[in-house]
């Protein structure tokens, strides 16, 4: 075919090559990931965190990783009420407030946040957590430098919360972290913002080591080609609730079916422990109690670490001393073929500083979670867990989470 150039447009071959180049750029723009080293543990610290650099020049902030919420926020010198960091380590806003007219503001302006009256007002936020803690503040936008696994260094302007009023409820001391890294799939999350800029796929994964530490990644380049068990994310009827919920699942104890069936489960890295509703929790406690009869274990009601603890003839030094007395659990996801989530004793027990062993699956109804069931850090340990928002699925595979070769 003879294609003539009119002199006013792009020659066909040049245009064709241009399209190919755009296509390649589009593919490459999503063909990388971002990896972070994790520190922390389930006990005694109670959370896992990463360091995130913010600003120019960049300043590092330690943030609690939380797949149970969307918004990332840091303690903010505005001034700050309820902050645990000294002022010189708090974030200082510098005329970079996000206005109400910004589309991201609408993503966080849900109850209990009042809607904006004036589009030029600052965008306020309030986040409330399952443990009754909260953060109140204003949305800001600043440079967050991130190194992609392909070697590229990006300096993206991303929105996050400048938290100037924090509350922490509970008998444990407040975490020493500077804030929360929200990894949910709502529009306001750092993950979604990076995806909208074409830098990564909308995928996040973590590997929490049972001995402490681990790694976190954004994007899909670090997903294993095989060995991952997948189950679909349940779609919420509310556009405001964007949790990583899946199910239904039936519980097996020591390989045998139980009365606990049809559980819907939310995967939440911001929760130290796993929570079942009252009926499921009571059934589990009864199974364990009956199973350990005749073993050298008795209830340690004097240990305040967790609600249900046992002591042995002498103090336990580690989980290795006691796990042989307990049986494994399995959650079988009934809508997915062969989707089994293994929960060995190491993934539902802790050994406390008092030398007792305690059950790390708690009664969620008692603390106001209603019928919500949460898979927390204790049961996510030593697994690569992947939240794939592109394909609306959650996956997991046994893994060595101590490796740091990704960083």
Catalytic (active-site) positions: 66, 268
Contact 186, 192 (CB under 8 A): yes
**CA-angle at 42, arms to 244 and 271, nearest 5°:** 30
Q: How many CA atoms lie within 13 A of 261 on its CB side?
A: 6
CA pair distance 265, 246, nearest whole angstrom: 5
Q: Which single residue is written with the structure tokens 């867990």?
A: 385
How far from chain centre, in Å, is Cα 304? Answer: 27
CA pair distance 32, 7, nearest whole angstrom: 39
Phi and psi at 401, nearest 5°, equal -85, 5
Asked if the peptide bond before residue 280 counts as cis, ω within 30 degrees of 0, the response is no
Q: Compute the Cα dihedral for 322, 331, 226, 268 and give only its sign.
A: negative
Q: Which single residue is written with the structure tokens 């997903």?
A: 223
Q: How many CA atoms lie within 13 A of 394 on its CB side?
A: 25
CA pair distance 405, 407, nearest whole angstrom: 6
Would residue 214 be called left, alpha or beta, if left means φ above 0 and alpha means ψ between -120 and 50 degrees? Answer: left
């Amino acid at each position: 075919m003879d294609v003539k150039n009119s002199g006013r447009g792009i020659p066909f071959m040049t245009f064709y090559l241009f399209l190919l180049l755009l296509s390649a750029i589009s593919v490459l723009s999503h063909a990388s990931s971002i990896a972070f080293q994790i520190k922390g543990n389930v006990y005694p610290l109670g959370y896992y965190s990463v360091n995130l650099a913010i600003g120019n020049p960049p300043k590092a902030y330690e943030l609690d990783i939380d797949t149970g919420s969307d918004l990332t926020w840091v303690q903010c010198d505005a001034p700050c009420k309820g902050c645990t960091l000294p002022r010189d380590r708090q974030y200082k806003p510098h005329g970079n407030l996000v206005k109400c007219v910004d589309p991201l503001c609408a993503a966080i302006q849900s109850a209990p946040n009042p809607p904006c009256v004036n589009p030029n007002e600052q965008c306020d936020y309030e986040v409330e957590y399952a443990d009754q803690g909260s953060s109140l503040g204003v949305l800001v936008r600043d440079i967050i430098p991130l190194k992609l696994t392909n070697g590229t260094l990006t300096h993206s302007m991303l929105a996050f919360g400048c938290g100037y009023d924090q509350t922490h409820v509970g008998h444990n001391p407040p975490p020493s972290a500077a804030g929360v890294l929200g990894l949910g799939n709502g529009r306001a999350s750092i993950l979604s913002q990076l995806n909208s800029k074409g830098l990564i796929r909308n995928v996040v994964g973590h590997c929490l080591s049972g001995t402490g530490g681990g790694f976190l990644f954004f994007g899909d380049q670090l997903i294993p080609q095989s060995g991952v068990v997948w189950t679909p994310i349940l779609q919420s009827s509310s556009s405001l609730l964007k949790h990583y919920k899946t199910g239904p699942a039936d519980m097996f104890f020591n390989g045998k079916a139980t009365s606990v069936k049809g559980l819907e489960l939310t995967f939440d890295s911001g929760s130290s422990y796993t929570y079942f509703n009252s009926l499921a929790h009571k059934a589990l406690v009864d199974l364990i109690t009956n199973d350990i009869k005749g073993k050298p274990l008795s209830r340690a009601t004097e240990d305040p670490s967790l609600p249900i603890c046992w002591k042995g003839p002498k103090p336990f030094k580690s989980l290795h001393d006691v796990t042989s007395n307990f049986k494994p659990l399995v959650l079988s996801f009934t809508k997915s073929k062969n989707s089994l989530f293994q929960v060995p004793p190491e993934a539902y027990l802790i050994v406390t500083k008092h030398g007792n062993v305690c059950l790390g699956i708690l009664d969620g109804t008692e603390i106001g979670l209603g019928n919500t069931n949460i898979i927390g850090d204790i049961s996510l340990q030593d697994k690569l867990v992947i939240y794939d928002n592109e394909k609306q699925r959650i996956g997991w595979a046994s893994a060595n989470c101590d490796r740091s070769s990704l960083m």
